Every structure is written in structure tokens, then in C-alpha cells.
């Protein structure tokens, strides 16, 4: 059973055992999800009402079938999301993780997010498990394509550009439901989970596989698992749940280490 630390009024003094595990960690794996970008104004996926999947049907927008059926609708939706990300700024959570990586020891950042806010905060070698909004490719020949200029009007319906090589349609460089993750990224993330001594799980509901299994892989080989999220997870089998927002907890955590 994990220990819950209520951090909604700020991070309290760390329990000595947690401080020791955090301080002694030499190989840190950080797994982030949509929650780490929430304080930058980017909607998460499953928040009631405000979450993307509360407002849009993923089957209509985040599958290859949906793209075949209506490429302009799907392309326009991802361009709308790309516009939001380009307008957004990294928040203190992104910056704290970039700072943490500069400290002694090795910190590896694996994200499910398709935004580039970790990189814009200064994090390097970020492993993207679900692709990126900034890496379109051809739907037919998979050739990487340039990101086109954003549409003038926010919610304008635009057709995806065509591949200069084969004439196929450009598709967003994200992993859609039913698609496999990029092999290298997943293999690297798995290897990190198998050898890390601390795994931080930040802002993810842990509902989407295989990313959701990474903390368990780490736990089974003896790593300390710390989850940072305002919502407690009933089925969390890790060590600590720090209940609160990442933009408050991560900078404060760094200060205490
Ligand atoms: N700080 C930390 N956590 C937060 C914050 C915050 N400020 N705001 C929200 N959260 C938490 C929510 O409580 C929730 O547990 O972030 C989590 C977001 O969960 P989801 O919306 O399910 O997003 P995520 O886990 O990243 O989704 C995984 O599902 O839809 C697919 O491909 C998409 O990568 C995505 C994957």
C-alpha cells in the first residue's frame, strides 16, 4: 500500500525515508503524461468536461480509420492542437525536470505527450512514446514531411498537404489508437524501467498501455515509485503518491533535495 502525501497546500517536509530514496537515486526514470502540460493550458485527455476526450470522440479523430474517412477533419484537429502548443509556454514542472537532469546522477525523461514543452524547457534526449505534433509524415510512404504554416483561422477545416514524393496525404506524427509505438523509443523506455532506482510518474492516469506498465516494470526490479498527481490512484502499487499539481510539487521537491 503506498503512502499518500497531501501536497495541495504545497509540499510539506519530506518524510526521511522518501528524502533518502530521492537523494540516493542515481538512475531516475521520469514518465510524464498530459497532466505535466495542464498548467501550460494544454487540456489533458480524460479530465471530465475539459478533457479532450470529453469534448471530442477519439474514434472520430485519433485512428487511421478516422483519417481515411475524413482526412481534413482529423488533420485540422491536430493542427488546432499544434497551434495551442505553439502558443503555450513550459511551466515550472517542465523546468524543474530540466534542472533535475543537470544535477549529478542520470535522469531520463520518457513522455506520452506529443507537445514539445519538455524540450522548450531545456530537457534533452526526451523519449516520446506517442510521437509528436511537430513531425508530420506521409500516410502512404511514411516519408517525414515539413510542418506546414498553421491555418489562418483557428478552427478552419483544412486538407492535409500532399507528399512531394508519392502524392500521399500528410498525417500527424502521433501514435493513434490501434497503432504500435515507435520501437526504439519503447525498447529504450523499457530498458530504463528495468534498471532505474527511482521512477517518477507525473501527470498520467496510467490507463494507456504499454506506457502504463513502465512503473510496474521498475517496481518489480526494486525501484522506488513516486506518483505526482492531484487525483489519487486507487490501484497504485508504488511507494508514494504526492497529491497535488506538478508545477508546485516538482520545483519544491528539487529544493528539498
Ligand atoms: N499536475 C499533475 N497531474 C495532473 C495535473 C497537474 N497540474 N492536472 C491533471 N493531472 C493528472 C490527472 O489527474 C490525470 O491523472 O494528469 C492525468 C492526465 O491523464 P490523461 O488525461 O488520461 O492523460 P495521459 O495519462 O497522458 O493519457 C495517456 O492517452 O489519449 C491517449 O495518447 C494519449 O498520451 C495520451 C495517453
Can you give the pLDDT of all 257 residues of the chain as single tens digits? 578 999 998 999 999 999 999 999 999 999 999 999 999 999 888 877 677 777 778 778 999 999 999 999 999 999 999 999 999 999 999 999 999 999 988 999 999 999 999 999 999 999 999 999 999 999 999 999 999 988 776 667 899 999 999 999 999 999 999 999 999 999 999 999 999 999 999 999 999 999 999 999 999 999 999 999 999 998 888 889 999 999 999 999 999 98
Contact 225, 250 (CB under 8 A): no
Query: From the CB of residue 56, how many other CB atoms can be counted at a distance below 10 Å?
Result: 15
Which of 30, 44, 248 for mutating ligand 1's site (highest number of atoms within 8 Å of CB)?
44
The dihedral region occupied by 46, where left means phi > 0, alpha psi between -120 and 50, and beta the remainder, is: alpha
Burial class (CB in 10 A: 0-12, 13-18, 19+), 104: exposed
- Helices (H), ranges, the chain: 16-24, 35-38, 52-55, 58-61, 64-69, 71-87, 92-101, 117-120, 183-195, 214-220, 246-256
Closest protein CA for atom 23 of ligand 1: 34
- Is the shortest distance between the CB of 131 and ligand 1 below 6 Å? no
* Distance (Å) from CA 159 to ligand 1 centroid: 29
Which of 32, 39, 46, 182 for mutating ligand 1's site (highest number of atoms within 8 Å of CB)?
46
* Distance (Å) from CA 45 to ligand 1 centroid: 6
pLDDT at 157: 84
> Which residue numbers are catalytic?
130
Rounded Cα distance between 160 and 170, Å, is 6
* Distance (Å) from CA 141 to ligand 1 centroid: 32
- Is the shortest distance between the CB of 207 and ligand 1 below 6 Å? yes
Q: What number does the ligand 1 atom closest to the CA of 206 have?
A: 25
Closest protein CA for atom 32 of ligand 1: 130
pLDDT at 238: 82
Amino acid at each position: 500500500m503506498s503512502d499518500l502525501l497531501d501536497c495541495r497546500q504545497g509540499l510539506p517536509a519530506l518524510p526521511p525515508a522518501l528524502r533518502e530514496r530521492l537523494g540516493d537515486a542515481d538512475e531516475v526514470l521520469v514518465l510524464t503524461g498530459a497532466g505535466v502540460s495542464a498548467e501550460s493550458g494544454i487540456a489533458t485527455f480524460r479530465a471530465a468536461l475539459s478533457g479532450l476526450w470529453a469534448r471530442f470522440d477519439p474514434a472520430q479523430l485519433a485512428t487511421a480509420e478516422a483519417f481515411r474517412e475524413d482526412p481534413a477533419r482529423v488533420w485540422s484537429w491536430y493542427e488546432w492542437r499544434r497551434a495551442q502548443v505553439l502558443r503555450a509556454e513550459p511551466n515550472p514542472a517542465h523546468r524543474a525536470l530540466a534542472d533535475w537532469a543537470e544535477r549529478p546522477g542520470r535522469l531520463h525523461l520518457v513522455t506520452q505527450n506529443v507537445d514539445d514543452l519538455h524540450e522548450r524547457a531545456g530537457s534533452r534526449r526526451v523519449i516520446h512514446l506517442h510521437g509528436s505534433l511537430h513531425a508530420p509524415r506521409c500516410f502512404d510512404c511514411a516519408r517525414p514531411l515539413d510542418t506546414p504554416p498553421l491555418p489562418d483561422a483557428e478552427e478552419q477545416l483544412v486538407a492535409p498537404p500532399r507528399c512531394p514524393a508519392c502524392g500521399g496525404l500528410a498525417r500527424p506524427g502521433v501514435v493513434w489508437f490501434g497503432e504500435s509505438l515507435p520501437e526504439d523509443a519503447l525498447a529504450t523506455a523499457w530498458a530504463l524501467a528495468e534498471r532505474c532506482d527511482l521512477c517518477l510518474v507525473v501527470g498520467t492516469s496510467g490507463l494507456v498501455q504499454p506506457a502504463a506498465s513502465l512503473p510496474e516494470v521498475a517496481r518489480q526490479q526494486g525501484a522506488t515509485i513516486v506518483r505526482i498527481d492531484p487525483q489519487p490512484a486507487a490501484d497504485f502499487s508504488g511507494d508514494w503518491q504526492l497529491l497535488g499539481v506538478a508545477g508546485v510539487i516538482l520545483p519544491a521537491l528539487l529544493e528539498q533535495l
